[in-house]
Amino acid sequence: MMVQKRDIPAGIWDSCQECGHMVYQKEVEENLHCCPECGHHRRINARARIEQLVDPDSFEELYADLSPTDPLKFKDRIPYRERIKAVQRKTGERDAVVVGRAFIRGRAVILGAMNSDFIMASMGAVVGEKITRAIERAIEEDHPLVLVTASGGARMQEGMISLMQMAKTSAALAKLDEAGGLYIVVATDPTTAGVAASFASLGDVIVAEPGAMMGFAGPRVIANTIKQDLPDGFQTAEFMLKHGFVDRIVKRHDLRREIARIIDYSGK
């Protein structure tokens, strides 16, 4: 996962993180970045996600100019500004979410997808603002809102400003709810912490990709707190389904069809 895709010549072999099978890189890509042997869903970036999900050439990006500031002048081992610059260069993105208008099987939607390559898709002011604007746009245009979530949580380098994005996005979703809008969450690996405890848990319908990690606290934090081993399959999409917090588990290949189906049932 740490290796950049472009560093590897096309067609190289690669072993699946899940089943260990040697798989042909190109075959994996053609299979929507799922392992052809075991079906393991690999993490994909926001652009690849959008391309898979929407009708060809139907995506029109919105609010692309938003980029982060450094309100705390935060510095750990490296300054936040440097961190941002480096990751912007590496990913070609300004921050961790891409939003826009698109069509999914001919149905108009407002779509957002998070980018786990960008500081683990942590939510700072830009992510909060773009998600909120997407929600407002969905209300204005009366289109369904689809958010593909993946995040390590709030971006601690922006301090309390990032925590407050949880309140901001949740409050905006209350407006969407009052307007009678449809909001579909597609939870992907990993949907955790501050994002899990805000907009990713507030979908009218929540679907999740198989095997996606979903949870509030990090598994190591939990294990350290309770001094116990964690059960197998803890904090996965399947665990969340079993405990009643996910409506459906949907394979990547079926997402377009399932989203379209839910939109049709909602009458949007």
- Is 160 among the residues that bind other proteins (CB under 8 A)? yes
| 24 or 216: CB nearest other proteins | 216
- Is 90 among the residues that bind other proteins (CB under 8 A)? no
Determine the residue type at 67: S
- Is 108 among the residues that bind other proteins (CB under 8 A)? yes
- Is 99 among the residues that bind other proteins (CB under 8 A)? no
Beta strand residue intervals within 209-255, DSSP E = 214-215, 248-249
- Is 170 among the residues that bind other proteins (CB under 8 A)? yes
Q: Which of 109, 162, 186, 268 binds other proteins (CB under 8 A)?
A: 162
Distance CA 6, CA 134 (A): 31
Nearest to 150 by CA among 76, 230, 41, 238: 41
Least distance from other proteins to the Cβ atom of residue 162, Å: 6
Least distance from other proteins to the Cβ atom of residue 160, Å: 5
The window from 1-9, 10-18, 19-27, 240-248 that contacts other proteins (CB under 8 A) reads 240-248
Q: Provide the β-strand partners of residue 215.
A: 192
Phi/psi for 233 (5° steps) reads 75, 10
- Is 181 among the residues that bind other proteins (CB under 8 A)? no
**Two structure tokens written together for 142:** 């009366």
- Is 48 among the residues that bind other proteins (CB under 8 A)? no
Cβ contacts of 58 within 8 Å, gap of 6 or more: 102, 103
Cβ contacts of 76 within 8 Å, gap of 6 or more: 157
Q: Which position has the token pair 């197998």?
A: 232
Rg value, the chain, Cα = 18
Beta strand residue intervals within 115-260, DSSP E = 145-151, 183-192, 205-208, 214-215, 248-249
Least distance from other proteins to the Cβ atom of residue 164, Å: 4
- Is 76 among the residues that bind other proteins (CB under 8 A)? yes
- Is 264 among the residues that bind other proteins (CB under 8 A)? no
- Is 221 among the residues that bind other proteins (CB under 8 A)? yes
- Is 66 among the residues that bind other proteins (CB under 8 A)? yes
**Two structure tokens written together for 29:** 């890509």
Residue 175 near residue 137, CB atoms below 8 Å: no
- Is 204 among the residues that bind other proteins (CB under 8 A)? no
The window from 4-12, 22-30, 111-119, 230-238 that contacts other proteins (CB under 8 A) reads 230-238
User: How does strand 107-114 pair with strand 145-151?
Assistant: parallel
**Two structure tokens written together for 205:** 């319908």
Q: Which of 25, 27, 210, 222 binds other proteins (CB under 8 A)?
A: 222
| 23 or 157: CB nearest other proteins | 157
Q: Which of 4, 11, 226, 232 binds other proteins (CB under 8 A)?
A: 226
| 48 or 222: CB nearest other proteins | 222
| 16 or 240: CB nearest other proteins | 240
